[in-house]
Amino acid sequence: MDNKRVLVTGSGTGLGREIALEFARQGADVVVHYSHAKEGAIKARDEIRDMGRKSEAFFADFNKVDQSVNLAVQAISYLGGIDCLINNSGITMNKSFLDVTPQMFDSLYHVNVRAQYFLTQHVAREMIGKGGGAIVNVSSIHGVSGAPEHTVYAGTKGAIMAYTRSLAVELAHKGVRVNGIAPGWVTVENYYKAIPGFNEQDARQAAHDKVPLGRSGEKLEIAKLAVFLCSEECGYIIGQTIIADGGTTSLMSLISDFRSKSTASFGAGYVAGL
């Protein structure tokens, strides 16, 4: 990533912040974006500058599409272009399907899909004009698995995965590679705010019990994957959304204890050797 120019949206906290820092560790100049976490974005900017890299933090409210496009304009102007765009910004909500209002629906789709779409459109034009680039859209395993009270959020994440595929095949011959990441359980600051009594010890135990790998993911693991997807080593991969979830979506939900040998005898009598 030496001297690459990178924009990471939603990078004042959580995954986005770690992704921005990892690009800088690998030699990139990085624009940090925030809508609420100004303090975290400023700290990330300062950490990146301390690494000897160029960085600035810009505000944009992704409920307003013009502000998302203006963020692209600011980032391109500041960096002199963008080689890598990481569309990480997003908001979540849990609400019973029967209680979702149009305002709630619009908020999630505006921030998670519409703003990302038109920001990417502006950046892609600039990338094509200057020889290409790489785009990574951060989705979620909610886009491929069902969870109660997440119909709106899951819809936005599924939309990101679908448009990632189509955009990739449209832009590949123009020199722009598009891929996605769908993280599973990665503990971020919002968990402590949203889940009553959330603590690391209980979370570790829950992850051990529920995730086939026996633990939740680390922010740095997702950040390194984002860097890889933007690197030359990933040059032949387009249109893919890499699921990084410790095996969560690979586990059939009907299996109650995946660590124990099954006592069932399916196949006995009609499969040779059983």
Active site residues: 153
Q: Give a three-class secondary structure readout of 31-88.
A: EEEECCCHHHHHHHHHHHHHCCCCEEEEECCCCCHHHHHHHHHHHHHHHCCCCEEEEC
CA atoms of 256 and 36, how far apart (whole Å)? 40
Beta-strand pair 176-183/84-87: unpaired
**Scanning the structure block, which residue is given the tokens 């740095």?**
220
Contact, 139 vs 123, CB < 8 A?
A: no
Phi, psi of 55 (to 5 degrees): -160, 150
Phi, psi of 123 (to 5 degrees): -65, -40
Q: 197 in helix, strand or coil?
A: coil
Q: In Å, how far are 5, 17, 26, 37, 44 from 53, measured between CA atoms?
A: 10, 15, 10, 21, 12
Angle at 32 between CA 29 and CA 36, to 5 degrees: 170
Tally of helices (H runs) and strands (E runs) in the chain: 9, 7
The region, left, alpha or beta by phi > 0 then psi within -120 to 50, assigned to residue 195 is: beta
Contact, 145 vs 210, CB < 8 A?
A: no
Contact partners, residue 97, CB within 8 Å, separation at least 6: 149, 151
